């Protein structure tokens, strides 16, 4: 059995399950499926479905997929609210281990004399100043750059000076931390 109501720009359908129409009793309330179609000014159709059946508390029963989607949205909103506008943690030379080596490539006699290549190691697992979620995201995203000891290894040979390569390596690690600490805003309807 179906009923249709037409409002200004809203079309609503209600369906009742046929088995409960024949044998309606207090034990078998009629399950129903509601479907709302709304046509906006732009001509787009918005569709909202709801289901209710026997045993649900006041028509609040939803499908498993819809419940999962709602849970994901709630979690995203909680993460965004908890993150707030906190800035991403900043890395300093105190948080890393720096080693120098001879850099390759052109450069004349300077290449063979000066250790300008920077190998920077950042122990992600022991970084107490990072949150657990950020650590997990770094470990997942940079798993190819992390050694057995849990150290993120970054090399830099961009400039011909140690100072420039140290700054470049710190910027690379900071970009990784910024990407891991980014919380996407909750979706809008």
CB 134 within 8 A of CB 124: no
d(CA 115, CA 105): 13
Query: Which positions ≥6 away from 6 have C-beta within 8 Å?
Result: none
**When comparing pLDDT for 93 and 46, which is higher?**
93
Q: State mean pLDDT over 28-56.
A: 50
Q: Considering only CA atoms, which of 55, 64, 10 is closest in space to residue 31?
A: 55
Question: pLDDT at position 59, please?
Answer: 54
Q: Give the tens place of pLDDT for each residue, 94-128.
A: 999 999 998 877 766 776 678 889 999 999 999 98
Query: Which positions ≥6 away from 39 have C-beta within 8 Å?
Result: 9, 11, 45, 46
Burial of 113 (0-12, 13-18, 19+ CB in 10 A): exposed
Q: Give the tens place of pLDDT for each residue, 76-92.
A: 777 666 555 567 789 99
pTM, 2 dp: 0.54
**When comparing pLDDT for 44 and 94, which is higher?**
94
């Amino acid at each position: 059995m179906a009923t249709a109501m037409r409002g200004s720009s809203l079309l609503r359908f209600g369906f009742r399950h046929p088995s409960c129409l024949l044998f309606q009793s207090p034990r078998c309330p009629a399950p129903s499926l509601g479907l709302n179609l709304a046509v906006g000014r732009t001509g787009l159709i918005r569709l909202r479905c709801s289901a209710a059946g026997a045993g649900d508390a006041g028509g609040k029963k939803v499908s498993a997929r819809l419940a999962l989607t709602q849970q994901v949205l709630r979690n995203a909103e909680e993460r965004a609210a908890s993150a707030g506008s906190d800035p991403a943690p900043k890395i300093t030379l105190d948080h890393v281990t720096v080693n120098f080596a001879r850099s390759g490539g052109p450069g004349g006699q300077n290449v063979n004399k000066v250790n300008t290549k920077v190998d920077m190691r950042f122990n992600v697992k022991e970084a107490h100043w990072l949150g657990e979620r950020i650590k997990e995201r770094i470990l997942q995203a940079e798993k190819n750059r992390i050694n057995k000891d849990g150290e993120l290894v970054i090399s830099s040979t961009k400039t011909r000076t140690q100072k420039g390569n140290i700054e470049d390596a710190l910027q690379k690690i900071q970009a990784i931390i910024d990407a891991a600490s980014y919380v996407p805003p909750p979706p809008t309807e």
